[in-house]
Structure 1
Amino acid sequence: MTGLKEGGERVTLDLLTKKMDDFARERDWERFHSPRNLLLALVGEMGELSEIFQWKGEVPKGLPNWKDEEKQHLGEELSDVLLYLVRLSDVCGVDLGKAALRKVELNALKYPVNGDGGSKK
């Protein structure tokens, strides 16, 4: 993961996993965090993220015409999706970082570089 938290420490999936676990435990929410419930929450957050783009049509990289408030809202919804995904993977016992790296490697085998610029994916 990219990004820095206050004090310059790197934000990692391990850090987010611990923060989410602590957050749930401190509120006694672990009993609600079944894989099914977390998946449904994740889908709900994806819906909220989708709503941001719903009527905008295609938008260029960097979102140059978006207001700061819109970009902040986007960041909040992206964060909700990420945090639920991190929590779901932890509750399911999946090392998300390792799984993601493995998937990149599998995709590289499935879609090798062929020098013609490749197809859109």
Structure 2
Amino acid sequence: MTETNPTDSQTTVTELKAVVQKFVDERDWNSFHNPKNLAMSLAIETAELMEHFQWLTPEEALVVKDDPSRKHAVGEEVADCLSYLLAIASKLEIDLATTLRAKMIRNAVKYPVPDGGTANPSEK
């Protein structure tokens, strides 16, 4: 029997949190998974993700998706970042869906769509 992995559209945030927690529990790493250590680990993994794009032009960065090897390597770092983010949210009992939606509402107020088009967020 072939096992299939559910895609983004078939998976809840709660299920992803459970995948990470099961991994941590199986290795008895809970004593190391406190908010400080998790935030530091997230920062380290984010730097590793940035390394894949260092010195690339914006156009070159976009074509990473067309190179299976490079896309896989970037995906590995994205997964590491996501796992630490999910672990932080779990540890601090943050509901990611509610928090993200509320943040996007605040961002929409802070960065309204300009009349007649889009704006560069760095211009704010």
CA distance in 2, matches of 1:57, 1:39: 29
The change in CA–CA distance for 1:65 and 1:98 in structure 2 (over 3 A counts) is: closer
User: 1:40 and 2:31 equivalent?
Assistant: no
> Is the CA contact 2:65–2:71 (under 8 Å) kept in the aligned structure 1?
no
Flag as ranges the 4+ runs of structure 1 deviating above 6 A: none
CA deviation after TM superposition for structure 1 residue 58, in Å: 2.0
**1:21 is matched with which residue?**
21
Residue 27 of structure 1 deviates from its aligned partner by 1.0
Identity %: 32
Q: How far apart are residue 102 of structure 1 and its match?
A: 0.7
CA shift in 2, pair 1:47/1:114, >3 Å: closer
Q: 1:18–1:65: structure 2 CA closer, same or farther, 3 Å change rule?
A: closer
RMSD: 2.4
1:74 maps to 74
Contact 1:5 1:11 in 2 (8 A): no
| Runs of at least 5 residues in structure 1 that lack an aligned partner in the other structure | none
* Distance (whole Å) between structure 2 residues aligned to residue 8 and residue 120 of structure 1: 29
Q: Which residue of 2 aligns with 1:116?
A: 116
Q: 1:101 to 1:5 in 2, by over 3 A?
A: farther
Gaps of 5+ in 2: none
Distance 1:107 1:42, change over 3 A: same
Q: Flag the structure with higher helix content.
A: 2
Q: Is 1:90 aligned to 2:80, yes or no?
A: no
Alignment partner, residue 5 of structure 1: 5
Letter in 1 for 2:103: K
Whole-angstrom distance in 2 between the partners of 1:47 and 1:71: 17
Deviation of 1:9 (Å): 7.0
If the length of structure 2 is used for normalisation, what is the TM-score? 0.82
For residues 65 and 80 of structure 1, the distance between their equivalents in structure 2, rounded to whole angstroms, comes to 18
Whole-angstrom CA distance in 2 between matches of 1:10 and 1:98: 19
- How far residue 82 of structure 1 moved from its aligned partner, in angstroms, is 1.0
